[in-house]
Amino acid sequence: MASKAPKPDLATLPKKAEARALNFFYGAKQALKNISLPVYDRRVTALIGPSGCGKSTFLRCFNRMHDLYPGNRYEGEIRFFPDDLNLLGADVDPIEVRMRLAMVFQKPNPFPKSIFENVAYGLRVRGVNQRSVLVDKVEEALKGAALWNEVKDRLDEQANNLSGGQQQRLCIARALASEPEMLLFDEPTSALDPIATASIEELIHQLKDKVTILIVTHNMQQAARVSDFTAYMYLGDLIEFGWTDDVFFRPKNKQTEDYITGRFG
């Protein structure tokens, strides 16, 4: 949890994004119901809730991943600041959205290419091919993901040869390389051991100075450790949202309390 200092007034806190009356449908099946949720600028917001409640679905609305599959439908909007763009707008190109919001997946998914090419890919997609620029950006991103020291002598090796934890940090570096404004994490440590998990959590701590983070996690301790805000979801509804310590220790809703005491206490 962030700090013991008095918490700033939410009304004055700048927002990076805000879901407004968001509904989402997989074909006829509604997976998100009227969700309104602010994501504060350069803060970590955790999404918690039982399996199948719609956490991943919500996260994947932000970078329009649902557009890749037929039959999916959004209603409502996700406002993105400072330009007050509706990420879900029909006139907004999902490619552009994905360039501004990067995603890290549950299972590390490096490309079967070299470590260097993995990290450089986001830049290559943007048409950056100048070697000197790529070299600098790749180094910066790998340092940002606390992986540089482990891989600096083997950048041309296959990424699949790295350990699971290293692969996940590589995926974070890949996401960081093109300087996204917001990072979306979907259970980034669920496939990792406790030590690798601790290093990713440490990394999230460092990253939040520069970038807004929205993270889905099944691990209550993790939510408590890394996040400033927590949202509790249940069956597609947003049940409670607030400062993480409030949600964990002074939940307003009985359902939230039951879930957290069941999983945490």
Partner 1 sequence: MPGAAANFDLAAARATIAAQKKRDLAFAALGLGALSVCFATFVALFVDMVIDGSGRLSSDFFSNFASRRPEQAGILAAWVGTLVVMVVTAAVAVPVGVASGIYLEEYAPRNKLTALIEININNLAGVPSIVYGLLALGMFVHTFGLGASVLTAGLTLGLLILPIVIVSTREAIRAVPGMIREAAYALGATRWQMVRHHVLPYSMPGILTGVIIGLSRAIGETAPIVTIGAVTFIAFLPPAPVTAAAPFVSFEWLMSPFTAMPIQIFNWTSRPETAFQQNASAAALVLVVMTLAMNALAIWLRFRLRRNLKW
Ligand X SMILES: Nc1ncnc2c1ncn2[C@@H]1O[C@H](COP(=O)(O)OP(=O)(O)OP(=O)(O)O)[C@@H](O)[C@H]1O
Query: Residue 152, Cβ neighbours under 10 Å: how many?
Result: 12
From 16, 55, 174, 225, residue interacting with ligand X (rule: CB under 6 A):
55
From 22, 31, 101, 138, residue interacting with ligand X (rule: CB under 6 A):
31
Rounded CA-CA distance 38/14 in Å is 10
Q: Segment 148-207, which members bind ligand X (CB under 6 A)?
A: none
The first and second tokens of residue 241, run together, are 């949202």
Rounded CA-CA distance 104/59 in Å is 11
Q: Which stretch binds ligand X (CB under 6 A): 26-34, 84-92, 149-157, 254-262?
A: 26-34
Helical pair 131-144 and 115-125, crossing angle rounded to 10 deg? 110
From 7, 10, 21, 52, residue interacting with ligand X (rule: CB under 6 A):
52
Place of tokens 């009356």: 21
From 56, 167, 168, 212, residue interacting with Mg ion (rule: CB under 5 A):
56
State the distance between the two ends of the chain, measured CA to CA, in whole angstroms.
17
Amino acid in position 3: S
Contact 115, 156 (CB under 8 A): yes
Whose Cβ is closer to partner 1: residue 191's or residue 198's?
191
Query: Does residue 57 touch Mg ion according to CB under 5 A?
Result: no
Least spacing, CB of residue 59 vs ligand X, in Å:
8
Query: Does residue 120 touch ligand X according to CB under 6 A?
Result: no
The one of Mg ion, ligand X, partner 1, none whose footprint includes residue 53, by CB under 5 to 8 A per kind, is ligand X
Supply angle C-alpha 156, 161, 165, rounded to 5.
110
Contact footprint for partner 1 (CB under 8 A)? 63, 65, 68, 70, 95-96, 98-99, 102-103, 105, 107, 109-112, 121-122, 124-126, 158, 160, 171, 174-175, 178
The first and second tokens of residue 51, run together, are 């399996």
The one of ligand X, partner 1, Mg ion, none whose footprint includes residue 57, by CB under 5 to 8 A per kind, is ligand X
Q: Which of 53, 65, 85, 90 is nearest to 75 (CA)?
A: 90
Whose Cβ is closer to Mg ion: residue 56's or residue 197's?
56
Query: Does residue 4 touch ligand X according to CB under 6 A?
Result: no
How remote is the C-alpha of 225 from its chain's centroid?
A: 15
3-state secondary structure (DSSP) of residue 225: helix
Whose Cβ is closer to partner 1: residue 98's or residue 225's?
98
Residues that bind ligand X (CB under 6 A): 26, 29, 31, 49, 51-57, 218
